[in-house]
Amino acid sequence: MFPEKPRYINTGGKLLDLEIPKVMGILNITPDSFYKGSRYNTEEDILRAATRMLEDGADILDIGGFSSRPGAKDITAEEESIRVLKAIKLISRNFPEAIISVDTFRADIAREAVVGCGAHLINDISGGDADSKMFLTVEKLNVPYILMHMKGDPRTMQNKPVYDDVVADILKWFGERIFKLQNAGLKDIIIDPGFGFGKTMDHNFDLLRRLGDFSITGLPVIVGISRKSMVWKTLNISVDEALNGTTALNAIALFNGADILRVHDVKEAVQTVKLLQKIRNSVTNR
């Protein structure tokens, strides 16, 4: 038997109940994220997007200032900090009840986002590999930490990634880091297999098919496949046309054990969760 996943994560004193899967809306404070519909660069755009996502049912807003698309241009910590911290302060001030995640691999930015700006979670695409201070920072802050797997970095990750077994290799990678974080006393860890981050198309679909294997960790799983190339390249369409395919794969992810969906299109993801819950309740009450 796999260990039971925790039902709740503590987000700044607010308990987030994972009995029903949650939806995280993506707010990219960047000029070059792979999906242009997720880029927000003025205060008006940021507030408009946050308002829409919260009204559509987003449980978490994930705010990032560094584009992690394959081949993305590197930016300085100062530039990322200016982008992301200003946005977090703006949203925190206008929506004090919103649960905010900071999407960064830099420990200093993560700390300031939590301590100085009101963020509640840290979402680290590098799983602690990009900044040696990140684990210590997370341990001291003791906030929920999204531990994502990435092979390489955004500039090199899609250069013919190879695995012996993609699920087994990633589970081993997770195991080493989860052990270290839990031994240091971190209570809330969420794991992200990192779809599209150092994985081929076949790797991505194998991960989705075998997503339930990650239950062995006993930790909540977040899935981010929204409008990614595994959708639009498979269907031979554009990223702008990838909503329907994203919704289909999100439904599969939920059936295979996803606890959180990270998405560009909140309303459709929330509807998908509601339909899944209807199916689950019909079985329970039969």
Strands 8-11, 14-17: pairing is antiparallel
- The whole-angstrom distance between residue 274's C-alpha and the CA centroid of its chain comes to 20
Please answer whether residues 149 and 41 qualify as being in contact, where contact means their C-beta atoms are separated by less than 8 angstroms.
no
Closest by CA position to 228, among listed 71, 64, 69: 69
Residue 10: partners with Cβ closer than 8 Å, 6 or more residues away: 16, 144, 187, 188
Burial of 276 (0-12, 13-18, 19+ CB in 10 A): middle
SS3 85: helix
Name 238's Cβ contacts closer than 8 Å, sequence gap at least 6: 232
- Say whether 228 is catalytic: yes
* CA dihedral of 58, 61, 67, 70, whole degrees rounded to 10: -40
Query: Among the options 228, 233, 274, 286, which is catalytic?
Result: 228
SS3 257: coil
Cα Rg of the chain (Å, integer) = 18
The verdict on whether 5 is a catalytic residue reads: no
- The active-site residue out of 89, 199, 262, 278 is 262
Q: Supply the DSSP symbol for 218.
A: -
Annotated catalytic residues are 228, 262
